[in-house]
Structure 1
Amino acid sequence: MKIPLAIAFAALVAATATVAHEDHGKPRFGGVVADAGHYQAELVARSDTLTIHVTEHGTPLSTAAGSARLTLLAGGKKTEVALAPAGNNRFEAKGTFDLKGAKVVAALNIPGKPPKTLRFALDDTPAQR
């Protein structure tokens, strides 16, 4: 009896892990997703606001007392943008941004975690206008 119970438990654990990672890599806020180790970040880029949502294994990761810097490469121009903590697991910057076809490098610093660098490629989707 113990062997079938162990097999059933193992199957349940495997199914739970599959469900937990089912949304991995999929945008939840209409942006573009990138991974760096255990971190996952979603950049929601609009012409007047840049927001990065940060998670670790799908769990929101506090950005309080953290910092983020984006380097935007678009139209032959390089623009540096500092983002401030803006809520539970977000960094945000407001301004006017040229985003069409931009390549973006994000440097994230979150207290108690190693610094991470993520890369995003933007196209002209509705969330990125």
Structure 2
Amino acid sequence: MKTQAFLATVTLALAGSAFAAGDKHDHAHEHKPLHGGVVVEVKDMDYELVAKPTVIRLHLRDHGKKADVSKASAKVTLLTGTEKQEVELKPAGDRLEATGSFKVGPGTKVVALVTIAGKSAGTVRFALK
């Protein structure tokens, strides 16, 4: 009986490790910031947010390559303490961008609703450090 229990435990452990290994996605790109921002992956797309007091930039990479943002936009909500600020990002070269005066800093939470070619590309959540 002890042998059966031991075999059952080993089988479950191996099955669990196989499942955990299968849960990770393997791809050739890394999720490191290329522009000094914070990177989040949603649906195989990397979003890098660079938030400064005078400019907000959102860089999009699809499987490690720059995504075409010419038909993209984003509505960004900045949450700093009890203050809330909404910003529209528009294409600016190879990124989405807005300039102005923004309250950003460590602890700021950012929610970006990204639209590409008129269709929702998803909601991306960031926490600034």
Give the TM-score range, shorter chain.
0.7 to 0.9
**Displacement, 1:75?**
2.1
Q: Does residue 68 of structure 2 align to residue 75 of structure 1?
A: no
Q: Work out the CA distance in 1 between the residues paired with 2:33 and 2:64.
A: 12
- Aligned AA (1:91): L
Higher strand share: 2
1:54-107 CA-partner distances (Å, limit 9, x unpaired): 01111111111211110000020111100110112x100001111122000011
Candidates 53, 57, 66, aligned match of 1:60: 66
What does residue 93 of structure 1 align with? 98
RMSD between superposed Cα atoms in Å = 1.6
- Aligned AA (1:43): L
Q: Does residue 111 of structure 2 align to residue 105 of structure 1?
A: yes
Q: Larger relative CO (CA 8 A, sep 6+): 1 or 2?
A: 1
% identical aligned pairs? 45
**Displacement, 1:47?**
0.6
CA contact (8 A) 2:77 2:112 kept: yes
CA contact (8 A) 2:75 2:87 kept: yes
What does residue 29 of structure 1 align with? 35
Q: Greater Rg, structure 1 or structure 2? A: 2
> How many residues of Structure 1 are paired with residues of Structure 2 in the alignment?
103
Name stretches of at least 5 consecutive residues in structure 2 with no aligned partner: 1-25
Name stretches of at least 5 consecutive residues in structure 1 with no aligned partner: 1-16, 124-129
